[in-house]
Chain A
Amino acid sequence: QQQVKQSPQSLIVQKGGISIINCAYENTAFDYFPWYQQFPGKGPALLIAIRPDVSEKKEGRFTISFNKSAKQFSLHIMDSQPGDSATYFCAASRSGYSTLTFGKGTMLLVSP
């Protein structure tokens, strides 16, 4: 049973455009939702995270939107740059348990 579904599998965006990646979860006990960025041959790096008490969180060019009733959350990358080309993973966990359930990832390519 895949508890976190991520889409799209891959994404091509022009430089300066907006990249949008979506995730849906099933377990209503999840209350911590991070996004990770992973470059080839590297470990995932924590990008931004949100909890259900807010509907949106912004850090620089990265924004998470959260819809608790729909059990969905999304990552928006504004003014996408070629250096943003990487694989992005959404994840979810229950506070205090810190065992992350990951989506399958989205490979983002930002064309110059």
Chain B
Amino acid sequence: ETGVTQSPTHLIKTRGQQVTLRCSSQSGHNTVSWYQQALGQGPQFIFQYYREEENGRGNFPPRFSGLQFPNYSSELNVNALELDDSALYLCASSLDDEQFFGPGTRLTVL
């Protein structure tokens, strides 16, 4: 059984660009949640996908969007990048209340 994987590991973008981050959920998990973790802070919930439908959203603007595919993998898209978007982006998969996190993608916006 493989755990949650994310790609890429690191990414550097410039302000105004767009970025796509990817996540493969743990085998058998049908729910994927995305979190943003700024340096020195706890993860902040962005949104959640359950069986390919958005199932909840945190306090993030619409330029943060996502997808979930039939195999339950997921993408996080961020448009019009801002400097404050620099953070560790975490994906977590779950079948019930227990959420298991991937290693994250470190995004730096210059």
Asked if B101 contacts A99 (CB within 8 A), the reply is no
Of chain A, the residue at the smallest CB distance from B106 is A41
Number of A-B contacts (CB under 8 A): 60
Q: A43-B90, A43-B104, A44-B90 are in contact. Are A98 and B99 (CB under 8 A)?
A: yes
A104 part of interface (Cβ distance < 8 Å): yes
Asked if A100 contacts B56 (CB within 8 A), the reply is no
Of chain A, the residue at the smallest CB distance from B56 is A99
Q: How far is the CB of B60 from chain A (nearest CB, A)?
A: 12
Interface string of A78-112 (1 = CB under 8 A from B): 00000000000101010111111111110000000
A32 part of interface (Cβ distance < 8 Å): yes
Asked if A101 contacts B101 (CB within 8 A), the reply is no
Chain B contact-residue range equals 20 to 34
Asked if A98 contacts B94 (CB within 8 A), the reply is yes
- Which residues does B use to contact A, with CB under 8 Å? 4, 6, 31, 33, 35, 40-45, 48, 56, 58, 90, 92, 94, 96-104
Asked if B43 contacts A100 (CB within 8 A), the reply is yes
Contacts of A95 in B (CB 8 A): 97
For the complex, what is the distance from the CA of A101 to the CA of B33, rounded to whole Å? 12
For the complex, what is the distance from the CA of A43 to the CA of B102, rounded to whole Å? 6
A-B contact pairs, 5 of them (CB 8 A): A43-B101, A99-B48, A100-B43, A100-B92, A104-B42
Contacts of A102 in B (CB 8 A): 42-44
Q: Which of B58, B90, B96, B104 contacts A98 (CB 8 A)?
A: B96
Q: How far is the CB of A91 from chain B (nearest CB, A)?
A: 8
Of chain B, the residue at the smallest CB distance from A93 is B97
